Amino acid sequence: MSLLSILKPKGKTGFGSSSTAEDVSQGIDLKGKTYLLTGSNSGIGKETLRVLCLRGAKVVALARTKEKAMEVIKEVGNAESVGIACELSDPKSISDAILEIQKGKWQFDGIIANAGIMALPKLEKGHGYELQFFTNHIGHFYLVTRILGQLKDDGRVVILSSSAHSMAPKATIEFDNLDGSKSYTAWKAYGQSKMANLLFAKELNKRFQGTKKTAFAVHPGVISTNLGRHMPKIASVVFALIEPLFLKSIPEGAATQVFCAVHPKALEFSGSFMADSNPKSPRSDAENMEIAKKLWDVSEDILKKLGV
């Protein structure tokens, strides 16, 4: 628990910065429920998997390789859960995962899009697009939209965004620079990918109107996790120094996405950007539904160009 977590008051939900994934799911019986989780083998994904299983849920756990997924399931000790390979920067891997999920015929109470990469120091591309945008947004967009038919009538979709969406370009999404070739800075590109995650959740929730399904975008907090493995060494050192003061623990970081996935109170905030298990106002353009619709359409066009 960081100093900041101790000092920040709890919000209207009764939870706050210091709440853990176990805290927000306390007393909630998830037996008979099934969740899909990406990035399940490390960081807050691993903690989310552990707590969902602790509460009795079955989890379809996705990781870069099947071996990593099965290893973390074995570690958690949940024989019911299933491991599937899904490398979100690789359309073929995602396609294979979608087929396996569809063959499994699971009906999901929740889909948690947790995986991601952060702040690549140099421009890297995946299939012609800036890699953070492709992995964090396009990969999840492809996966989630193709398995929505297996989301239960009252199912929830939780998309991991970040307060770093505020670092996105002034244009919100640079549709004319999705490959990063015109300009590239690590944090602006990361911010754009997180803005895309937020807009995806907003548009998805809009498309759920008239149903009991809901979608959330989540800021987990600033956490020391494997997400920053691409960061320069000096940035990693700085993170280590400030961790006791400002960084959340992994159990605290997993709390908001677990809250949105399982807690009854979360339904009061359908479609919201959530932080510390409470609604939070995002950057104003993150609620521009014209941009959200355009992003959805552009994302579908990208998938068509990729032939998937």
The whole-number average pLDDT for the span 176-190 is 97
Helices (H), 38-151: 43-54, 66-76, 91-104, 131-132, 140-146
Q: Which of 245, 244, 250 is nearest to 227 (CA)?
A: 250
Distance separating alpha carbons of residues 181 and 133, to the nearest angstrom: 13
Q: Domains in the chain, please, with CATH?
A: 3-306 (3.40.50.720)
| Reported confidence tier of residue 301, pLDDT bands at 50, 70, 90 | very high
| Reported confidence tier of residue 150, pLDDT bands at 50, 70, 90 | very high
Distance separating alpha carbons of residues 103 and 239, to the nearest angstrom: 42
Residues carrying an active site annotation: 184
pLDDT tens across 90-105, in order? Answer: 999 999 999 999 999 9
| Reported confidence tier of residue 6, pLDDT bands at 50, 70, 90 | low
pTM over 0.95: no
What confidence score (pLDDT) does residue 226 get?
47
Residue with the larger pLDDT of the pair 103 and 239: 103
What confidence score (pLDDT) does residue 244 get?
64
Distances 13 to 154, 162, 276 between C-alpha atoms, Å: 21, 20, 10
pLDDT exceeds 70 at position 1 = no
Distance separating alpha carbons of residues 80 and 58, to the nearest angstrom: 6
The whole-number average pLDDT for the span 247-271 is 97
46 sits in the region (left: phi over 0; alpha: psi -120 to 50; else beta) called: alpha
pLDDT tens across 259-268, in order? Answer: 999 999 999 9
The whole-number average pLDDT for the span 42-58 is 98
What confidence score (pLDDT) does residue 79 get?
85
What confidence score (pLDDT) does residue 227 get?
47
Distances 227 to 41, 160, 180, 224 between C-alpha atoms, Å: 12, 12, 21, 8
Residue with the larger pLDDT of the pair 307 and 226: 307
